[in-house]
Amino acid sequence: MTYFTKTYDEAFINENSVRTNYKKFISWYKNQDNDELTKINSDAMKFFENTGVSFKVYSNDKKENLIPFDIIPRIINSKEWDKLVKGITQRVLAINFFLTDIYGQQEIIKHGVIPVDLIQNNTAFLKQMIGFTPPNKTYNHISGIDLIKTNSDNFYVLEDNVRVPSGASYMIENRDTMIKLFPELISKYKVSENRNYAKYLSEILKKSSPKTSKINPNIVLLTPGIYNSAFFEHAFLADKLGVELVEGKDLRVINKYLNMKTINGWKRVDVIYRRIDDIFLDPLSFKEDSFLGVPGLMEVYRNKNVTIANAPGTGISDDKSIYSYIPDIIKFYLGQKPILKNVKTFKCRIKDELKYVLDNLNKLVVKEVHGSGGHGMLVGPLASKTEISKFKNKIKKNPYSYIAQPTLSLSTCPIYTKKGLTPRHVDLRCFALLAQEKVTVIGGGLTRVALKKGSLVVNSSQGGGTKDTWILSS
């Protein structure tokens, strides 16, 4: 076997030496028949295809794509994981305090921790939310925190996704698949459970119900519909939660309450787990021509007759320019030292930093402040001179919209190929659920892997795949 990687590899120190986390696994692997594994690998894709696990990449055709799944698990030990849980809990709580403050008294601005223009000029800051506290004072019920590893000691936070983070269904399906494919392997390890995600999600959604509702609140999952790229996940989660999967057209505001159209007439809705963006929620408050939302929903919300999870306006806390202030936000609200590190971020809105960015584009990764899915970014070291100069103009035109980060040496993990194991770059999305100031971090998360050799882009819309993530119990 030749296994060579320039950056930190989570499984191998070198070709002949395996790290502790992977020792048991690699010795199992070496005893497997390669033809058998190749067959299992293709069975895995067949399994996903038959169950309809799909991800639609936006294009003109109706084709549904499968996210490639790799059968080699990513293994994290309990010590590393415990630190992650503490760090994620801290961030999620701090973000909720920040949102409460930024739509309320704005103490953080008054204290000069965050510049006012960063909020004022930000399209993710919703004036409709000013002076309003959501039911149970919770904004970010569901967070998807993206992490990367660059050496043996540290995970860095790359992004805090608190708008409509997706991926939990793949985390669960990946585990189901691994259990089907390698039942004997999983039983050898004490791997922490992650398929309880829906149970916890259901609990926090129930807890978030507005006071006016009954003991058993009526929860719905609001989807943009079957043509949305993440529709599979919406249906999957609604199914696991045991709630109705609704579209905007199923809902209507009647007498200050939100109702859904059932076969027996209208029925009151107490909690919306929404999977559509803020601007589509209510054509009377946001985008006028949106058919995805419900006219008048925001008024019902502001009267606290319905809970929207996550709350509208949470985006102000996870854009890439606010990101660089998260350590300050943690210190300001919790009085604690941040447990997880941020990646060094240059803010193009600041003159000196802009100059540094423009001078060093070939070394940096530049991202749009509101971008996602790996789109609208420049990976300096891989870009051509023309691409760089084009991007330079874009940044100059609108520096507020860009941040830059050094190219990170993302860790690698082994993936399976016919020729044996080979290293690929990975990141990790962890899911955290918040209700009544209590955070639950789901054991493990979704490991995304860049399947192309050398590639750092792990996004599923750009050829990334996923792996099962094992947290070993201590």
Partner 1 sequence: MLGSTADSLFWMFRYIERVENTLCMIESGFQLYLLSSSNLNNEWDAILRTNSIRHHFLKKNNSLDSLNIINFMLKDPKNFNNILILFEKARENARRSRVSITSEVWEAINTCWLYLNEELNKKINESKIQTIIKNTREKIALIFGFLERSMLKNEILNFCYLGTFIERFDNTVRILNTRYYLLLDEKKIRFEGYDNFQLEMILRSISSYRSFMWKNQNEIKANKVSYFLISDKDMPKSLMFCVNETIKNLRSIHKKNFPKNKSYQNALSIQKKIKQKSRNFNNYSFLNSLFKLNMTLAANIEEEFNFQ
The residues of the shown chain that bind partner 1, judged by CB under 8 A, are 49-52, 226, 231, 235, 238-239, 243-247, 249-250, 260-263, 265
- Strands 251-254 and 244-246: what pairing? unpaired
Cis peptide before 342 (omega within 30 of 0): no
Q: At what angle do helices 34-51 and 168-181 cross, to 10 degrees?
A: 140
- Strands 464-471 and 446-450: what pairing? antiparallel
Least spacing, CB of residue 92 vs partner 1, in Å: 28
For tokens 């919790």, name the residue: 334
For tokens 């939302």, name the residue: 293
Least spacing, CB of residue 123 vs partner 1, in Å: 32
Least spacing, CB of residue 221 vs partner 1, in Å: 8
Q: Which is nearer to partner 1, 221 or 410 (CB)?
A: 221
Q: Which is nearer to partner 1, 215 or 263 (CB)?
A: 263
Q: Which is nearer to partner 1, 1 or 226 (CB)?
A: 226
Cα separation, 193 vs 449, whole angstroms: 21
Least spacing, CB of residue 77 vs partner 1, in Å: 34
Q: Which is nearer to partner 1, 56 or 425 (CB)?
A: 56
Cα separation, 355 vs 351, whole angstroms: 6
Q: Which is nearer to partner 1, 238 or 441 (CB)?
A: 238
Q: Which is nearer to partner 1, 69 or 232 (CB)?
A: 232
Asked if 313 and 278 touch (Cβ cutoff 8 Å), the reply is: yes
Cα separation, 111 vs 109, whole angstroms: 5
Q: Which is nearer to partner 1, 62 or 419 (CB)?
A: 62
Locate all alpha helices (DSSP H) within 141-248, ordered by sequence: 168-181, 183-188, 197-207, 231-241
Asked if 444 and 192 touch (Cβ cutoff 8 Å), the reply is: yes
Q: Which is nearer to partner 1, 171 or 450 (CB)?
A: 171
Least spacing, CB of residue 319 vs partner 1, in Å: 32
Tokens encoding 146: 């993206």
C-alpha 31: how far from its chain's center? 36
Cα→Cα distances 29→33, 36, 263, Å: 9, 11, 54
Helix (H, G, I), strand (E, B) or coil at 31: coil
Least spacing, CB of residue 29 vs partner 1, in Å: 30
Least spacing, CB of residue 56 vs partner 1, in Å: 11
Tokens encoding 201: 């999600």
Q: Which is nearer to partner 1, 48 or 325 (CB)?
A: 48
Asked if 383 and 421 touch (Cβ cutoff 8 Å), the reply is: no
* Of the candidates 456, 453, 447, the residue with the CA atom closest to the CA atom of residue 67: 447
Least spacing, CB of residue 321 vs partner 1, in Å: 38
Q: Which residues pair with 406 in a beta bridge?
A: 364
Least spacing, CB of residue 225 vs partner 1, in Å: 8
